[in-house]
Structure 1
Amino acid sequence: MTLKFLAGTVSLFLFVLGVTATDWYTVEWDAPQFTALSGDMVIPKLPNPGGIPYVWPALQSNHGVLQAVCDGRSGVWRIGKHPVALHMYTALHESAADGFYGVPSLPWGNGFNVNPGDTVHFSFTSASSGTTWTATLSSNGKSASTTLNIPGSTMNRAIFAVELTRIPFNFGPITYRNVKITATTAASGWCGRILHIGNYPHTVTGNVASGNTCNIASIVQNSPS
């Protein structure tokens, strides 16, 4: 499995524009501006080969997506004795409409290996300016981090997604624990409004507002099949 940090990808850029060539299964929260997202992701089992599976938590603006992606495209996301590659990338794909230029305009990051069943802690944190983001991963004593400058991009969606191309959602579950989402506004106004894309079984438990932070005990995304 490849886990990568990105600020926008080709497929996710299509998602922003509403293109539906890919199947999406999400759990989401909206707020005027998010400033941090963190949690523990349990690395899921691998689906059968032959398609393009991505699983990721993210913060999204109208300009792009900052995400930590489990990437199963190359068959490196495997169960058993084969290690799963965990990489952190930062890439920002531009749009003529939003003024981002360069492909990509942000550097690639570092990474380390994980296996299905491992727990990876992820964190996205913005500086007081709101334009500089620090993204980190850690698991079993290993860690990777990168800092991104993303000006003019207000993160207003917190997304937990399963993104599938030419492959059914027949694996999982995808589990997140100890999730914290922080915004510039009181969490009491948005923590209880849980949105989703896709017709599939999913559960959110223990979502409690505390100041500007929504604390979520667990998010579980199950296969619809």
Structure 2
Amino acid sequence: MLFPLVLALAALLSPASAATWYFLRYNLPSSQAFLSFSGTMQIPRLPKAGTYYLWPGLQPTDNSGVYQNVLDGRSGTWWIGSGWCCQNPSLPWGSGFNTNQGDSVAFSNVKDGSNWRSTLTKGSQTVTDTFALGSKTFNQALFAIELTGVSWDFGPLVFNNVVITSSGTDTRWCTNAPENYNSASNYALSGVQASVSGNVVTCRISSVTLQSPK
């Protein structure tokens, strides 16, 4: 199911189970493409088992799917893993691990030739997966909350030390305010800086906080 141009894990659910969305989105000019996306996610509390999907992700120009690092609350314990949802191409989901409130999980997604490489790290625990997505041109970077049958009852979702790179020289996608889907979220950004070197834009954001629903 494509919903506000975001194809996410809700696509695996029945059409009757519509997700509620909160997300910030950075959109590139048509001449540029994302090259990497990294940062740390601060793990919030999990009130109960439910369809909580919290994730950073990249979406391509053809809106054929989303490449994401998903914090999943369905089992009643947070689990985080990387993957592509859902078809075109059809790829197996990557590896992951359980995590708890108060943990800090670093995520790194980097284009590496014909593949994208994802690494998740919590303390001494690291998992790395490779996805055959090099043919995709990713032009949207998202910080998303996707909820089905549950509410935003876990508190703020915080990302720190975010670094996003793209091809090109236009930095406005970084320094302008991100799209706040349906103006649905209270959010805060700090420490936004953009630089250009060798036809690569580097966008650094000290913190991105999805604070609460409006």
- Give the AA of the match of 1:71: D
Change (3 A) 1:68 1:12: farther
Once residues 170 and 136 of structure 2 are traced to their aligned partners in structure 1, the CA distance between those partners, rounded to angstroms, is 21
Distance in 1, matches of 2:169 and 2:12, equals 29
CA deviations on 1:119-146 (whole Å, 9 max, x unpaired) are 011000002x4x3100000011100001
Select the residue among 30, 43, 48 that pairs with 2:27.
Answer: 30
Please state whether the residue corresponding to 1:190 is helix, strand or coil: helix
**1:170 is aligned to 2:159:** no
Q: Which amino acid aligns with 1:173?
A: P
Report if the CA contact (8 A) 1:89-1:107 is conserved. no
Q: Which amino acid counterpart does residue 188 of structure 1 have in structure 2?
A: T
- In structure 2, distance between residues paired with 1:117 and 1:159: 22
Partner in structure 2 of residue 3 of structure 1: none
Report the CA distance between 1:93 and its aligned residue.
2.1
**Runs of 4+ in structure 1 displaced over 6 angstroms?**
none
**How has the CA–CA distance of structure 1 residues 89 and 36 changed in structure 2, closer, same or farther, with 3 Å as cutoff?**
closer
> C-alpha distance in 1, partners of 2:11/2:39?
21
For residue 42 of structure 1, what is the aligned residue in structure 2?
Answer: 42
Q: CA deviation at 1:91?
A: 4.2
Code of the aligned partner of 1:145: T
Identity of aligned residues (%): 37
What is residue 215 of structure 1 aligned with on the other side? 204
Residues in 1 aligned to 2:9 and 2:126: alpha-carbon distance in whole angstroms = 26
TM-score (norm 2): 0.82
C-alpha separation between the residues in 2 aligned to 1:71 and 1:40? 16
- Confirm or deny: 8 A CA contact 2:65 2:84 kept in the other structure: no
Given that 1:187 and 1:213 are in contact with CA atoms closer than 8 Å, whether structure 2 keeps it comes out as: no
Q: 1:132 aligns with which of 115, 119, 126?
A: 115
Are the counterparts in 1 of residues 68 and 82 from structure 2 also a CA contact under 8 Å?
Answer: no
Which consecutive unaligned segments of at least 5 residues does structure 1 have? 1-7, 78-84, 95-99
Deviation at 1:118, TM superposition (A): 0.5
- Rounded to whole Å, the distance in 1 between the matches of 2:164 and 2:119 is 15
Deviation at 1:13, TM superposition (A): 8.5
Please list the CA deviations of residues 183-204 of structure 1 after superposition, one character each: whole Å capped at 9, or x if unmatched. Answer: 0022523112211114221101
Amino acid at match of 2:202: T
Tell me the equivalent position of 1:202. 187
Listed one character per residue, the Cα deviations across residues 42-89 of structure 1 (whole Å, up to 9, x for unaligned) are 01111344x411100011112211100010112223xxxxxxx44x24
Alignment of 1:154-193 (within 5 A): 154-186=137-169, 188-193=171-176
Question: How far is 1:159 from its partner?
Answer: 0.1
Matched to 1:57, the amino acid is P
- After superposition, the Cα gap between the structure-2 partners of 1:196 and 1:20, relative to the gap in structure 1 and judged at 3 Å, is farther
Partners of 1:187 and 1:205 in 2: how far apart? 20
Q: Secondary structure at the match of 2:171?
A: helix
Query: Structure 1 length normalisation: TM-score?
Result: 0.78
Distance 1:182 1:89, change over 3 A: closer
**CA contact 1:26–1:197 (8 Å) conserved in 2:** yes
RMSD: 2.3
1:45-84 alignment runs, 5 A limit: 45-49=45-49, 51-61=50-60, 62-77=63-78
